[in-house]
C-alpha cells in the first residue's frame, strides 16, 4: 500500500512552467509543473547541492539555479549524463492536498 505524505495545499503549487520546493519530513522535494503535469523529485542537485526547486523549468527540464545542470522532470536524469539521476516520486492531488510517496 502506498504511503503518501502531504507536502502542500493545492493553492501552493507552482504555476505551469515553474518549480517550487516543499519540505517533506527531513527532506526537501522539488515540485515542477510541466504544462499542467506535476512532477516531484529530490530537491538537491547532484553537482554542488543546489536547490532545484528554486530553479527554472524549460522544455520539460528543471534547471539548477547554481550552475545550470538540467534534470528531466519526469525521470530525474541529468541532460548531460543519463546515469546521473535524482530520485523522482509519485505525486497526487486529492481535494486540496498535494501528496508525494517517499
In a domain, residue 102? The reply is no
Q: What is the CATH number of the domain that holds 64?
A: 2.102.10.10
Q: What's the sign of the alpha-carbon dihedral 4, 34, 65, 11?
A: negative
pLDDT value of position 31: 98
Percentage of the chain lying above the pLDDT 70 cut: 98
- Domain residues for the domain of 60 are 10-90
As for how many domains the chain has, the answer is 1
pLDDT value of position 82: 86
In a domain, residue 5? The reply is no
Task: Give the residue carrying C-alpha cell 481535494.
Answer: 95
In a domain, residue 100? The reply is no
**DSSP string across 1-54:** ---EEEEEEGGGSPPTTBEEEEEETTEEEEEEEETTEEEEEESB-TTT--BGGG
**DSSP string across 45-87:** -TTT--BGGGSEEETTEEE-TTT--EEETTT-EETTEEEEE--
Mean pLDDT of 78-101: 95
In a domain, residue 97? The reply is no
Q: Could you tell me the pTM of the whole model?
A: 0.94
pLDDT value of position 2: 66
Amino acid at each position: 500500500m502506498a504511503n503518501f505524505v502531504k507536502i502542500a495545499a493545492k493553492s501552493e503549487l507552482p504555476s505551469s512552467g515553474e518549480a517550487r520546493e516543499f519540505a517533506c519530513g527531513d527532506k526537501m522535494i522539488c515540485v515542477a509543473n510541466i504544462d499542467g503535469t506535476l512532477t516531484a523529485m529530490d530537491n538537491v542537485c547532484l553537482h554542488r547541492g543546489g536547490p532545484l526547486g528554486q530553479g527554472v523549468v524549460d522544455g520539460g527540464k528543471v534547471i539548477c539555479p547554481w550552475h545550470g545542470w538540467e534534470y528531466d522532470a519526469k525521470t530525474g536524469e541529468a541532460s548531460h549524463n543519463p546515469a546521473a539521476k535524482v530520485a523522482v516520486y509519485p505525486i497526487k492531488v486529492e481535494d486540496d492536498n498535494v501528496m508525494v510517496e517517499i
